Amino acid sequence: MSTQQRIEFALKATLQFACEAPCPPRLRYAMQHAVFPGGARVRPRLCLAVAAACGDENPDLADGAAAAIELLHCASLVHDDLPCFDDADERRGVPSVHKAFGEPIAVLAGDALIVAAFQTIGLCLPMAPLHGARILTAVAAAVGGPSGIVAGQAWESEDQVVLSEYHRAKTGSLFSAATVSGAEAAGYESEPWRRLGDLVGEAYQIADDICDMVADPATRGKPSKRDSALGRPNAAQELGVHGAVRRLRALLAEATEAVPDCPGADALRAHIERSALPYLPKELLVAA
Amino acid sequence: MSTQQRIEFALKATLQFACEAPCPPRLRYAMQHAVFPGGARVRPRLCLAVAAACGDENPDLADGAAAAIELLHCASLVHDDLPCFDDADERRGVPSVHKAFGEPIAVLAGDALIVAAFQTIGLCLPMAPLHGARILTAVAAAVGGPSGIVAGQAWESEDQVVLSEYHRAKTGSLFSAATVSGAEAAGYESEPWRRLGDLVGEAYQIADDICDMVADPATRGKPSKRDSALGRPNAAQELGVHGAVRRLRALLAEATEAVPDCPGADALRAHIERSALPYLPKELLVAA
């Protein structure tokens, strides 16, 4: 089974469990709408790439962690799109969850996806209590307070923003959870893998900032120039588009250097080099 | 330490962890506002009463489960109060979280409390992997889809509501999680404890329905007659107030009968008999 198939299969199994009868139909449809069809599945692919590089000793645990991380990412998108945040009408080229199902169901679908993520890890615990518990606490730290995604989003409501903390929390944290969980699922000591996740996360944030500035909304599946419209920091605005592309390439190079020793280090480095670039408009890659 | 002190201590420890630096200040204040000062802490008290009746073999695990259950209850209140649901200005006699901190922070505080709940259980896993994992999955099932609190709330967005499922999901599920977790934390086989939680949960829902109909909003700390204003089912409206009080007493009697065999069964029965009645206006207790 390909990595992509593993991810979709794990996500389907999780949602089937969370949405089985007697789940209220609109909640079920909204959760499915939030997760399928997906985006690039960048975070779970990174998680499984790390697990594979470390020998993938417990693929079911790796799949569970990857699915949980993607569900939490999807949940954060559903809540971020709400009228009180980005008020986004579209996501991945289709109506956002609150546009399709109304605001109450969007709030609840986000909540239910968060719960489903932890339930997914919980169901893996009997097969690997120690590593499963570490994955659970790493993933929870990447999402909640004081420095997970939710905290990152909350910095947008502060007058005084610590910019590095904002980016690390809002984007980097779930990438670090992906590398840590992938290593942990393969039975590796996971702390050395955190920095790799931080670097890939920062690279991905810059790629997203560049896309926000230059990409065509139709190919991107969501509106562009949202950062400047909402007064949010954007690396491509700060560094210029080509400066941001150079920074992105430098971060990816640093990330490949940061891969800890493991049997599949070369394949993982190749994965990382490819990881953030495909989201950029092609003409930028040629020019940079 | 009294049960009340144990609960407050466990909640404080959990929030301290979730809100430590570098947590954005408004998110931290909002999470604390949502949890302190608390309501009656009915669910964690039930959890600890069951754990005590079963010998309280692992009090730290019981405290963790009790705190997680209360955090999830608080999270559900924060999201239920949002403008797109109940649009409640007050909760527990003070402004609701979105009134005090704005809607974005209220959505995020609810999310962060959900995550903190699972993190709390996650931190207990090393001390009791098997029972901790069972508590995690029981608590997750009580909150998410297909039949936890979130599903209960989602039934309010459906045209065709399965009433029994609505009540069981919206209120009963977290009470069942409380009895199951309390027994599990004490090392007991927990499935026989589920029915007790269902019955206490149903009793508590009826007590809440009665209060919604008759109690003074000032003593209740939240607006009254919300069910009829929002077109929601209410047992006191269906059965009449005195009929509802009789039904409540019958349910509590049934619950005391349903206590499984354990060393502290008598004390637990006394706890249950007292559990839902104090929330009713005194004149009703005399008349019923």
| Best residue of A15, A32, A84 to probe chain B, by most B CBs closer than 10 Å | A84
Report the pLDDT value the prediction gives residue B225, as an integer from 0 to 100. Answer: 76
**Among candidate residues B183, B119, B233, B82, the one with its CA nearest the CA of residue A138:** B119
Omega before residue B25 within 30° of 0, cis: no
Q: Do A140 and B129 touch (CB under 8 A)?
A: no
> Residue A30 in 3-state DSSP?
helix
Which residues neighbour A263 within 8 Å (Cβ) at sequence distance 6 or greater?
A53, A54, A55
Residues A162, A167, A170, CA angle at the centre, nearest 5°?
Answer: 115
Per-residue pLDDT tens digits for A12-71:
999 999 999 999 999 999 999 999 999 899 999 999 999 999 999 999 999 999 999 999
A94-95 and A90-91: which strand pairing? antiparallel
B31 in contact with chain A, both atoms CB, cutoff 8 A: yes
A100 in contact with chain B, both atoms CB, cutoff 8 A: no
Which two three-digit tokens encode residue A229?
């419209």
Chain A residue with CA closest to B21: the answer is A146
Cβ atoms B150, A112 nearer than 8 A: yes
A68 in contact with chain B, both atoms CB, cutoff 8 A: no
Percentage helix, strand, coil, to 5, in chain B? 75, 0, 25
ipTM confidence score: 0.95
Neighbouring C-beta atoms of residue A254, cutoff 10 Å:
15
Report the pLDDT value the prediction gives residue B286, as an integer from 0 to 100. Answer: 59
All structural domains of chain B:
3-287 (1.10.600.10)
DSSP lists the bridge partners of residue B94 as B91
Cβ atoms B171, B101 nearer than 8 A: no
Report the pLDDT value the prediction gives residue B288, as an integer from 0 to 100. Answer: 47
B115 in contact with chain A, both atoms CB, cutoff 8 A: yes
**Among candidate residues A178, A123, A128, the one with its CA nearest the CA of residue A149:** A178
> Residue B162 in 3-state DSSP?
coil
Q: Which residues of A touch B137 (CB under 8 A)?
A: 119, 122-123
**DSSP letter (8 states) at residue A259:** P
Percent of chain A predicted with pLDDT > 90 = 74
Q: Which residues of B touch A118 (CB under 8 A)?
A: 118, 136, 140
Cβ atoms B213, B238 nearer than 8 A: no
Per-residue pLDDT tens digits for A176-221:
999 999 999 999 999 999 999 999 999 998 888 888 888 776 666 6
A150 in contact with chain B, both atoms CB, cutoff 8 A: yes
Residue B95 backbone phi and psi in degrees, to 5: -55, 140
Per-residue pLDDT tens digits for A250-284:
999 999 999 999 999 999 999 998 876 666 766 66
Report the pLDDT value the prediction gives residue A212, as an integer from 0 to 100. Answer: 85
Q: Do A122 and B140 touch (CB under 8 A)?
A: yes
- Position B209: which residue type? D
State the Cα–Cα distance between residues B143 and A79, nearest whole angstrom: 18
- B274 to chain A, closest Cα gap in Å: 32
| Contact map slice: B 6-25 vs A, CB within 8 A | 18-25
B82 in contact with chain A, both atoms CB, cutoff 8 A: yes
Which residues neighbour B43 within 8 Å (Cβ) at sequence distance 6 or greater?
B66, B69, B70, B73, B174, B175, B177, B178
| Best residue of A103, A119, A134, A150 to probe chain B, by most B CBs closer than 10 Å | A150
Which residues neighbour B95 within 8 Å (Cβ) at sequence distance 6 or greater?
B89
Which two three-digit tokens encode residue A233?
């920091």
- A164 to chain B, closest Cα gap in Å: 11
Q: Do A122 and B133 touch (CB under 8 A)?
A: yes
Nearest CB to B144: which of A26, A119, A154?
A: A119
B216 in contact with chain A, both atoms CB, cutoff 8 A: no
State the Cα–Cα distance between residues A86 and B243, nearest whole angstrom: 48
State the Cα–Cα distance between residues A82 and A72, nearest whole angstrom: 16
Nearest CB to B157: which of A26, A123, A133?
A: A26
**Residue where the block lists tokens 């637990």:** B268
The whole-number mean pLDDT for each consecutive block of 10 residues of chain B, a chain of 288 residues, reads 95 95 96 95 97 97 98 98 95 95 98 98 95 97 96 92 83 96 97 96 90 76 73 83 91 95 97 77 62
A94-95 and B90-91: which strand pairing? unpaired
Per-residue pLDDT tens digits for A130-165:
999 999 999 999 999 999 999 999 999 999 887 778
DSSP A127-155: G-HHHHHHHHHHHHHHHSTTTSHHHHHHG
Which residues neighbour A141 within 8 Å (Cβ) at sequence distance 6 or greater?
A147, A148, A173, A177, B119
Cβ atoms A231, A196 nearer than 8 A: no
Report the pLDDT value the prediction gives residue A238, as an integer from 0 to 100. Answer: 86
State the Cα–Cα distance between residues B101 and A156, nearest whole angstrom: 13
